[in-house]
Amino acid sequence: MRILVNGDLHESTGAGLAALLQQLGYGESIVTTALNGEFVAVAARATTPLRDGDRVEVLAPMQGG
């Protein structure tokens, strides 16, 4: 299925958000995720399904000031 991740189109081989993050190389990285504009908590990623055309945002924390 085709998923838009941070504005770039990706083919996803997994059925859920956690699988997509693994596929993209985020693994156990500390990131914040949103699906179609809605925040998805870490605990919910494994049970959050994806559908063709979904929009996923992955944000890493920034340091500095």
Please state, in angstroms and rounded to a whole number, the distance separating the CA atoms of residues 31 and 55. Answer: 16
Asked if 24 and 10 touch (Cβ cutoff 8 Å), the reply is yes
What confidence tens digit (pLDDT) does each residue in 13-54 have?
A: 878 999 999 999 998 889 999 999 999 999 999 999 999 999
Sign, Cα dihedral of 16, 19, 21, 24: negative
CATH of 2-59, picked from 3.40.50.2300, 3.10.20.30, 1.10.3720.10, 3.40.50.12780, is: 3.10.20.30
pLDDT value for 65: 62
The CA-CA-CA angle for residues 26, 8, 24, to 5°, reads 20
Q: Pairing relation of β-strands 2-5 and 55-59? A: parallel
Compute the distance between CA of residue 25 and CA of residue 39 in angstroms, rounded to an integer.
20
